Amino acid sequence: EDKVVQSPLSLVVHEGDTVTLNCSYEVTNFRSLLWYKQEKKAPTFLFMLTSSGIEKKSGRLSSILDKKELFSILNITATQTGDSAVYLCAAPGAGNNRKLIWGLGTSLAVNP
Amino acid sequence: SAVISQKPSRDICQRGTSLTIQCQVDSQVTMMFWYRQQPGQSLTLIATANQGSEATYESGFVIDKFPISRPNLTFSTLTVSNMSPEDSSIYLCSVLDGTNYGYTFGSGTRLTVV
């Protein structure tokens, strides 16, 4: 059965810290891995990763995929209170409807 | 990326009533997905809605409880029927964006059933 596992489930840091969020996956016919940030209701897209070893970067956020070891990490440097959110990892499943397989998320709290 | 307008943003409903949530996309999309997110949980797929065909429901979800309409390639509705407090959740629609943005989500509907 396809699955996506995130760790840690929750994390509390101080402003300015660097955090690393983990996502491992077991997905048949793997195509891509997605990271989202969820603050209130709707998840907002961060990154889509398809190739191993190529870092994607957006400001203080970056992410990389390892298709050999079946995991991805999301790094946030110089954290700010506005980074407090749930970070979700997902991968499209093998079916024709490309249903997303979701992790449980990492709840990040950044304290001032 | 696609932009999705989802309504209502929130509602408080009496048990036994029904609520219809609608999503309007600014571009034509083949598949739309409806999710539920119960408090403290991750997203759970309710059904996949293709234009011109019956929605495909995930295990644990049935058409009588969550009827879906998909009259065209830019619009869909989800109805939560005969509501109970257990239906209190965030409901989200989503589309597979044709660009490199993965899946785009509507703004969500926070439903509270009292």
Specify burial of residue A61 (Cβ count, 10 A radius: 0-12, 13-18, 19+): middle
Where do the structural domains in chain B lie, given as residue ranges? 4-113
Q: Decide if A28 is inside a domain.
A: yes
Q: Is the pLDDT of residue A97 over 80?
A: no
Q: Which fold does the domain B4-113 belong to in CATH?
A: Immunoglobulin-like (2.60.40)
Distant-in-sequence, close-in-space partners of A41: CB < 8 Å, separation ≥ 6: B90, B92, B107, B108, B109, B110
| Chain B hits for A90, Cβ within 8 Å | 103
What is the span of the domain harbouring residue A9?
A: 3-105
Alpha carbon distance, N-terminus to C-terminus of chain A: 41
Strand A56-58 to strand A43-49: parallel, antiparallel, or no bridges (unpaired)? unpaired
**Distance of alpha carbon A10 from alpha carbon A74, whole angstroms:** 14
Domain-embedded: residue A49: yes
Q: How many domains does chain A have?
A: 1
Instruction: Single out the residue of A103, A112, A111, A78 nearest to residue A11, CA to CA.
Output: A111
Cα of first residue to Cα of last residue in chain B, in angstroms, is 37
CATH of the domain at A48: 2.60.40.10
Q: Which amino acid is at A95?
A: G
A105 touches B: beta carbon within 8 Å: yes
The chain-wide mean pLDDT, for chain B, equals 92
Residues 6+ apart with CB under 8 A from B110: A41, B9, B10, B11, B90
* Domain-embedded: residue A110: no
* B102–A103 CB contact, under 8 Å: no
Neighbour count for residue B75 (Cβ, 10 Å): 15
Identify which of A41, A98, A103 has the shortest CB distance to residue B110.
Answer: A41
Q: How many CA atoms lie within 13 A of B73 on its CB side?
A: 6
Closest CA to B104 of B52, B38, B51, B35: B35
B27 CB-contact burial (10 Å; exposed 0-12 / middle 13-18 / buried 19+): middle
Show Cβ contacts of residue A57 under 8 Å, excluding neighbours closer than 6 positions.
Answer: none
Report chain B residues whose CB lies below 8 A from the CB of A44.
Answer: 105
Task: Give A19's pLDDT tier (boundaries 50, 70, 90).
Answer: very high
Average pLDDT over residues B8-27: 97
pLDDT in tens, B60-110: 999 999 999 999 999 999 999 999 999 999 999 999 876 556 789 999 999
A31-87 pLDDT, tens digit per residue, is: 899 999 999 889 999 999 998 888 999 999 999 999 999 999 999 999 999 999 999
Are the beta carbons of A42 and B92 separated by less than 8 Å? Answer: yes
